[in-house]
């Protein structure tokens, strides 16, 4: 089951998003990611496996931001991969969404 969290405020967003995603671990997932607005730039980090993998990625390549979204995903279409992890980029990389449907899944009308 997917989980989505967001933060807007004065504190550093990434650690708060990671902690929030960890609180959703009981729901099950196979990948996770986050997107933050860092100095006007959209920074996205995604990883397959446990949230600790995403946490390590942030330690290796940190971000500083006050706005962000995080997402856990359970792959229902195709294998779990970093490329299929959420969040995804859109609009030429200038926006991000924690899409909960697969690009191959039909969109409900």
User: Mind listing the pLDDT tens digit for each residue in 55-97?
Assistant: 999 999 999 999 999 999 876 666 666 655 555 555 455 445 5
Q: What is the pLDDT of residue 88?
A: 52
How far apart are alpha carbons 15 and 36 in whole angstroms? 11
- Span 12-21, pLDDT tens digits: 999 999 999 9
Q: How distant, in Å, are the alpha carbons of 3, 27, 75, 104 from that of 14?
A: 16, 21, 23, 29
Cβ 97 vs Cβ 87: under 8 Å: yes
pTM, to two decimals: 0.72
């Amino acid at each position: 089951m997917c989980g989505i969290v967001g933060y807007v405020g004065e504190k550093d967003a990434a650690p708060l998003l990671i902690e929030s995603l960890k609180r959703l671990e009981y729901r099950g997932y196979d990948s996770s990611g986050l997107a933050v607005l860092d100095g006007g730039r959209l920074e996205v980090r995604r990883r397959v496996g446990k949230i600790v993998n995403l946490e390590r990625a942030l330690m290796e390549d940190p971000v500083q931001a006050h706005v962000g979204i995080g997402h856990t995903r359970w792959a229902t279409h195709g294998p779990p991969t970093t490329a299929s992890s959420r969040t995804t980029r859109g609009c030429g990389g200038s926006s991000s969404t924690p899409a909960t449907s697969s690009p191959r899944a039909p969109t409900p009308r």
